[in-house]
Structure 1
């Protein structure tokens, strides 16, 4: 078996052991409000940008808990969880908790069916919210989840987070990029530096498409011809932000997708 059925319950391991009882999940349950994680898509036991995921976990553990996190330990725990679930393709999350008085962090790995971002153009509703400590992929995203729900209830696909003055920061669960006809522009406001974003930033210039950072505001969206969002599940064009319509630039998306799909996967 290489892919769990869509209805399957997640396979969960805590510190390399299958979580089957309430006691196994005691640390995540009690300390889940102060933790960080990374989310990756595994295909044939490979992950695009795996070293970036491991670096993210190490840096966040250093910042939040004051100690590093060995990337090889993380890889071993992910491999063990994939073996336990009996799969080669999956959506995997690695959570890092640290209980008071503990000598080492607790690692929880979840394995779910693989996921891919739908390629259909997205409509985004702007909301007035900036994530605290936005450079960290941390837990406690009530506002993101709630604003996303409000956006979907209003007929949009998701929320777009903004700061004072309508400064665009990031999507509720994505990074966002804009195209001005010459360059791909990523908002330079504080946000999570997503792995897919990082991979594209490094590789798009090699395809002849400059990738830059710059200020983006809601009242300045008319300066852009197109936009797209990215996360671990992939890339999708944006067709609308509030009342501002964007054309889906087929050539742009072809270039962006080809660069992304040409990025090799690192073995877990």
Structure 2
């Protein structure tokens, strides 16, 4: 597929999405998902999370977030691989927009290091405001020979990576960070835990420090890569455990893609 540039579309409430230059304004809320040849995963979950984020950011009903999301879905390409981002930008007049971007390279495994420095997040339970700070921290991890950092809460408890939810296995139990920890509600993680429940897999929310994860099957999960097992803990004494379950669960995630909704017919003038 030839290189496709990023494009931005602004929402005109009660009207349509139109190509525009993205305003220089704070990112108040955002959500992203993978689209491959007209298929995507868990759009209802991404839609609901974005609507909740917009409400938390103070977006009023005049923006018509639901109407924007309907038209954004119609704008998504039906060929190629894309990683669109729906956005609420702040400023004097908040605006909704669709950032249409080609999908970046995807990987099947990850090298993870703990981050014990200051937490760069200001809104850990709302996606959007902290994306630039988290991207900078992730770039720092790569400079140090890892792919991502595991953020830690006071006491050294692991919470999440800069762009993915942390999950791990302890025997037959699928473990996830304790609910009291500052973690973004992950859409892919929600699908995994729902599937685990259907399969009779016990779920175990619990606090864990990075040392507690040594030797275990550890996953980072998100909407771009799906499920990636941790295969190394650079610059630590921790050992990456074998990941015998990851391939089957990743295949189930691949199979969960569904066709995008058919575009709505344009309104007559």
Taking structure 2 as the reference length, the TM-score comes to 0.82
The answer on whether the counterparts of 2:110 and 2:232 sit within 8 Å (CA) in structure 1 is yes
Unaligned runs of 5+ in 1: none
Shift of 1:51: 0.7
Are positions 1:230 and 2:221 aligned together? yes
1:247 to 241, 256, 266: 241
Which residue of 103, 128, 133 corresponds with 1:114? 103
Q: Structure 2 unaligned segments of length 5 or more: list them.
A: 12-16, 262-269
Question: Larger % of helix: which?
Answer: 1
Give the SS at the match of 1:245.
Answer: coil
Taking the aligned partners of 2:253 and 2:155, their CA distance within structure 1 comes to: 33
C-alpha separation in 2, matches of 1:147 and 1:264? 30
Which residue is equivalent to 1:145? 135
Partners of 1:171 and 1:79 in 2: CA distance: 32
Quick one: distance in 1 between partners of 2:27 and 2:251? 38
Query: Structure 2 CA distance, aligned partners of 1:146 and 1:90?
Result: 22
Of the candidates 160, 168, 180, which is equivalent to residue 170 of structure 1? 160
> Which residue does the alignment assign to 1:46?
39
Per the TM alignment, residue 13 of structure 1 is displaced from its structure 2 partner at its CA by: 1.2
Query: How many correspondences in the alignment?
Result: 247
* From 209, 212, 226, the counterpart of 2:201: 209
Separation in 1, partners of 2:36, 2:210: 37
- Post-superposition offset of 1:142: 4.2
> Which of 238, 246, 267 does residue 260 from structure 2 map onto?
267
Counterparts of 1:135 and 1:91 in 2: how far apart (Å)?
21
- For 1:13, the equivalent position in structure 2 comes to 9
Pairing 1:94-105 to 2, within 5 Å after superposition: 94-100=86-92, 102=93, 105=94
CA contact (8 A) 1:228 1:238 kept: yes
SS at match of 2:155: helix
Q: Does the residue aligned with 1:165 lie in a helix, a strand or coil? A: coil
Native 8 Å contact 1:13 1:108 kept in 2: yes
Contact persistence 1:175–1:230 (CA under 8 A): yes
Q: Is 2:103 the counterpart of 1:125?
A: no
SS at match of 2:129: coil
Cα 1:91–1:217, aligned 2, differ >3 Å: closer, same or farther?
same
- For residue 144 of structure 2, what is the aligned residue in structure 1? 154
Structure 2 CA distance, aligned partners of 1:92 and 1:47?
A: 11
**SS of residue in 2 equivalent to 1:117:** coil
CA contact (8 A) 2:110 2:228 kept: yes
Instruction: Name the SS of the counterpart of 1:78 in structure 2.
Output: helix
State the Cα RMSD in Å: 2.3
Q: Given the two structures, how large is their TM-score scaled by the length of structure 1?
A: 0.82
For the 8 Å contact 2:6–2:100, the answer to whether it is kept is yes
Q: How many Å apart are 1:116 and its aligned residue?
A: 5.8
Rounded to whole Å, the distance in 2 between the matches of 1:141 and 1:50 is 20
